Amino acid sequence: MTKLSVNINKIATLRNSRGGNVPNLLEVAKDIQEFGAQGITIHPRPDERHIRYQDAYDLKPIVSTEYNIEGNPIRKFIDLVLAVQPTQVTLVPDAVDAITSNAGWDTIKNQSFLQEVITEFKNNNIRTSIFIDTDKNLIEAAAKTGADRIELYTEDFATDYAKGIKNAIKPYTEAAIFAHSVGLGINAGHDLSLENIQFFKENIPNLAEVSIGHALIAESLYLGLENVVKMYLHRLQ
């Protein structure tokens, strides 16, 4: 079964909008795990507009499943991850002013940098994943960095699938097969939803984990958080 890691950035956004502690991020993380999710994901950004750096520390004793911290590996982020020691770190090349992640790594251009960062994390027994597009040359270069996994950036698939273009899955299937052949585990995330997650899962061999935040939280406003977590788990079986 593919694991479901729930990104709780949107809960932090809602909390921050009023300046207090409602909703309580830690309690929501506990609930999500009790509802059956196998991981919690956060993506702190330098301006702390949703997840704060302190949240990463506060969540550490709360997350009893897999703990995934995403972000651009600037020095402040690297130091945070090394201090918190999550299960996994996902490296994302997002600009400081990006609303959300919008591209994968150029692992050829940035190979030496990524290799240096990944070595530091792996020396501390933290699993590493690289956010990446479906280009096989980039995936091959990702393998050379020493990364454990890649996270396929799935926005293009989700956009085309919503238009009825099911063939949009083909490059992702081929990328997953190739990644597995060069020794990389496969994660995926970005714009995956209840509408497309089962189709995606059925067509991606060796899919270890999906990280879903925006859609899952938005769907939960209508259907309830516990119901939605269980609906994702059912589709991922």
23: domain CATH number is 3.20.20.70
Domain that holds residue 22: 3-236
Active-site residue identified among 43, 66, 151, 219 = 43
- Prediction pTM value: 0.94
214: alpha, beta or left? (left if phi > 0; alpha if psi -120 to 50): alpha
Active-site residue identified among 70, 151, 209, 219 = 70
Q: Is 70 a catalytic residue?
A: yes
Give the DSSP H/E element, type plus range, for residue 81: helix 75-84
Q: How far is the C-alpha of 166 from the C-alpha of 187, rounded, in Å?
A: 20
110-130 per-position pLDDT tens digit:
999 999 999 999 999 999 999
C-alpha distances (whole Å) from 78 to each of 53, 72, 81, 85, 158 are 12, 9, 5, 10, 30
Q: Is 190 a catalytic residue?
A: yes
Tokens of 62: 């709360």
Q: Under a CB-based contact definition with an 8 Å cutoff, are residues 139 and 150 in contact?
A: yes
20-61 per-position pLDDT tens digit:
999 999 999 999 999 999 999 999 999 999 999 999 999 999
Q: How many CA atoms lie within 13 A of 91 on its CB side?
A: 31
Count of structural domains, the chain: 1
Active-site residue identified among 50, 66, 151, 190 = 190
According to the model, what pLDDT value does residue 103 have? 76
